[in-house]
A and B are shown apart, each in its own frame.
Chain A
Amino acid sequence: MTKKAQPRSNLVQGTLDMLILRTLLYGSAHGHQIGKHIQQTTNDFLQMQHGSLYPALHRLEERGWVISKWETAPDRNREFKYYRLTEKGRKQLVIEESQWKQMAEAVARVMWPAAEES
Chain B
Amino acid sequence: MRWWRIGKRDADLERELQSDLELEEEEQRERGLSGEEAHYAALRALGNRTLIREQTRAAWSGAWIESLLRDLGYGFRGMRRNAGSTVFAILIVGLGIGGASTIFSVVNALLLRPLPFRDPGQLVWISNGENYSIQAEQYVDLRDQNHSFADLAGWSGAYSAGNMELTRTGEPERLTGVPVTENLFALLGVEPAIGRSFTKEECEGKYYAPPAVVLSNSFWQRRFASDPGVVGRQLTLDGRPVSVVGILPASFDFASVFAPGTPIDLFIPWPLADKAKPQGNTMAVVGRLKPGAAIAGAQAELSTLAQQLESQHPERNDVKPRMVPLEQHVSGQVRPALVVLMCAVGVVMLIVCANLSHLQLAQMGARQKEMAMRMALGAGHFRLLRQVLTESLVLSGCGAALGLLFAVLGTRELAHLQTFNLPLLENVRIDGKTLAFTLLATIATGVLFGLAPALQVSGYKLREGMQDASRGSSSGRRHGWFRDGLVISEFALACLLLVGAALLIQSFLRALDVNLGFQPERAAALRIDPSFQISARAQANAFIDDVLQRARAVPGITAAGISDILPLDGDRGWQVGAKGQVYDKNNHPEAFIRVVTDGYFEALGIALKSGREFTQSDRESGEPVAMVNETLARTLWPGQDAVGKTMTQDGGRRVVGVVADVHHGGPEILGGSEMYMPMRQTGDYAAIRLVVRTALPPDTLAASIRTALRPVDPYLPVTEFQTLQRLVDKVMSPRRFLVMLLSGFAGFALFLASLGIYALISYSVNQRTKEIGIRMAMGASAWLVQRDVLTGTLRLALAGVALGTLGSFALRKWLGSLLFDTTPTDPAVISGVILLLCSVALVAGYVPARRASRIDPMRALRAE
Q: Which of A1-56 contact B (CB under 8 A)?
A: 1, 30-32, 49-52, 54-55
Q: Pick from B13, B15, B56 the residue with the most CB of A within 10 Å.
A: B56
Chain A contacts of B59 at CB under 8 A? 55, 58-59, 62
Measured between alpha carbons, how far is A49 from B55 in the docked complex, in Å? Answer: 14
Measured between alpha carbons, how far is A79 from B48 in the docked complex, in Å? Answer: 23
Measured between alpha carbons, how far is A22 from B329 in the docked complex, in Å? Answer: 78
Considering only CB atoms, which chain A residue lies closest to B59 in the complex?
A59
Measured between alpha carbons, how far is A59 from B13 in the docked complex, in Å? Answer: 13
Whether B20 pairs with A32 at a CB distance below 8 angstroms is: yes
Chain A contacts of B17 at CB under 8 A? 54
Q: Which of B1-55 contact A (CB under 8 A)?
A: 1, 12-13, 15-17, 19-20, 23-24, 31-32, 44-49, 51-52, 55
Considering only CB atoms, which chain A residue lies closest to B19 in the complex?
A80
From residue B98, how far is it (CB to closest CB) to chain A in Å?
Answer: 45
Chain B contacts of A78 at CB under 8 A? 19
Chain B contacts of A55 at CB under 8 A? 52, 55-56, 58-59
From residue A118, how far is it (CB to closest CB) to chain B in Å?
Answer: 45
Chain A contacts of B31 at CB under 8 A? 1
Measured between alpha carbons, how far is A31 from B45 in the docked complex, in Å? Answer: 13
Given the contacts A62-B1, A62-B60, A32 and B52 also touching, CB distance less than 8 Å: no
From residue B49, how far is it (CB to closest CB) to chain A in Å?
Answer: 7
Binary contact track A57-86/B, C-beta < 8 Å → 1, others 0? 011011000000000000000111100000
From residue A107, how far is it (CB to closest CB) to chain B in Å?
Answer: 29
Chain A contacts of B473 at CB under 8 A? none
Q: Which of A74-101 contact B (CB under 8 A)?
A: 78-81
Q: Pick from B16, B17, B60 the residue with the most CB of A within 10 Å.
A: B16
From residue A33, how far is it (CB to closest CB) to chain B in Å?
Answer: 9
Chain A contacts of B47 at CB under 8 A? 49-52
Whether B48 pairs with A51 at a CB distance below 8 angstroms is: yes
Measured between alpha carbons, how far is A54 from B31 in the docked complex, in Å? Answer: 25
Say yes or no: is B61 at the interface (Cβ < 8 Å to chain A).
yes
Measured between alpha carbons, how far is A52 from B764 in the docked complex, in Å? Answer: 48
Instruction: Tell me how many residues of B have a C-beta within 8 Å of chain A.
Output: 26
From residue B380, how far is it (CB to closest CB) to chain A in Å?
Answer: 16
Given the contacts A55-B56, A55-B59, A59-B59, A79 and B46 also touching, CB distance less than 8 Å: no
Whether B58 pairs with A32 at a CB distance below 8 angstroms is: no
Main secondary structure on A side of the interface with B: helix
Chain A contacts of B61 at CB under 8 A? 62
Whether B49 pairs with A31 at a CB distance below 8 angstroms is: no
**In the complex, which of the residues B15, B46, B60 contacts A51, with contact meaning CB atoms closer than 8 Å?**
B46
Measured between alpha carbons, how far is A34 from B515 in the docked complex, in Å? Answer: 97
Measured between alpha carbons, how far is A54 from B17 in the docked complex, in Å? Answer: 8
Given the contacts A1-B31, A62-B1, A51 and B19 also touching, CB distance less than 8 Å: no
Whether B51 pairs with A51 at a CB distance below 8 angstroms is: yes
Given the contacts A54-B16, A62-B61, A80-B19, A32 and B24 also touching, CB distance less than 8 Å: yes
From residue A2, how far is it (CB to closest CB) to chain B in Å?
Answer: 11
Measured between alpha carbons, how far is A50 from B23 in the docked complex, in Å? Answer: 12
**In the complex, which of the residues B12, B24, B32 contacts A50, with contact meaning CB atoms closer than 8 Å?**
B24
From residue B504, how far is it (CB to closest CB) to chain A in Å?
Answer: 62
From residue A36, how far is it (CB to closest CB) to chain B in Å?
Answer: 8
Whether B49 pairs with A51 at a CB distance below 8 angstroms is: yes
Whether B45 pairs with A58 at a CB distance below 8 angstroms is: no
Whether B13 pairs with A54 at a CB distance below 8 angstroms is: yes
From residue A106, how far is it (CB to closest CB) to chain B in Å?
Answer: 30
Chain B contacts of A79 at CB under 8 A? 19
Chain B contacts of A50 at CB under 8 A? 20, 24, 45-47
Binary contact track B463-486/A, C-beta < 8 Å → 1, others 0? 000000000000000000000000
From residue B41, how far is it (CB to closest CB) to chain A in Å?
Answer: 11
Measured between alpha carbons, how far is A55 from B59 in the docked complex, in Å? Answer: 7
From residue B420, how far is it (CB to closest CB) to chain A in Å?
Answer: 61
Whether B56 pairs with A54 at a CB distance below 8 angstroms is: yes
Chain B contacts of A61 at CB under 8 A? 1
Chain A contacts of B20 at CB under 8 A? 30-32, 50
Chain B contacts of A81 at CB under 8 A? 12, 15-16, 19
Measured between alpha carbons, how far is A73 from B49 in the docked complex, in Å? Answer: 24
Measured between alpha carbons, how far is A80 from B24 in the docked complex, in Å? Answer: 13
From residue A3, how far is it (CB to closest CB) to chain B in Å?
Answer: 10
Considering only CB atoms, which chain A residue lies closest to B47 in the complex?
A51
Whether B23 pairs with A58 at a CB distance below 8 angstroms is: no
Measured between alpha carbons, how far is A37 from B16 in the docked complex, in Å? Answer: 18
Measured between alpha carbons, how far is A101 from B818 in the docked complex, in Å? Answer: 79
Measured between alpha carbons, how far is A50 from B48 in the docked complex, in Å? Answer: 10
Chain B contacts of A1 at CB under 8 A? 31-32
From residue B377, how far is it (CB to closest CB) to chain A in Å?
Answer: 15
Chain A contacts of B51 at CB under 8 A? 51
Whether A49 pairs with B46 at a CB distance below 8 angstroms is: yes
Considering only CB atoms, which chain B residue lies closest to A33 in the complex?
B23
From residue B187, how far is it (CB to closest CB) to chain A in Å?
Answer: 64
From residue B812, how far is it (CB to closest CB) to chain A in Å?
Answer: 63
Measured between alpha carbons, how far is A61 from B58 in the docked complex, in Å? Answer: 13
Measured between alpha carbons, how far is A51 from B59 in the docked complex, in Å? Answer: 14
From residue B211, how far is it (CB to closest CB) to chain A in Å?
Answer: 81
Whether B23 pairs with A32 at a CB distance below 8 angstroms is: yes
Measured between alpha carbons, how far is A54 from B48 in the docked complex, in Å? Answer: 12
- Which 7 pairs, one residue from A and one from B, show the smallest C-beta to C-beta distance? A51-B47, A49-B47, A55-B55, A59-B59, A51-B52, A55-B56, A32-B20
List 18 additional contacts besides A52-B52, A58-B60, A61-B1; criterion CB under 8 Å: A1-B31, A31-B20, A32-B19, A49-B45, A49-B46, A49-B47, A50-B45, A51-B48, A51-B49, A51-B51, A54-B16, A55-B52, A58-B59, A59-B59, A62-B60, A62-B61, A78-B19, A81-B12
23 contacting pairs across A/B (C-beta < 8 A): A30-B19, A30-B20, A31-B20, A32-B20, A32-B23, A49-B46, A50-B45, A50-B46, A50-B47, A54-B17, A54-B55, A54-B56, A55-B52, A55-B55, A55-B56, A55-B58, A55-B59, A58-B13, A58-B56, A58-B60, A61-B1, A62-B1, A81-B12
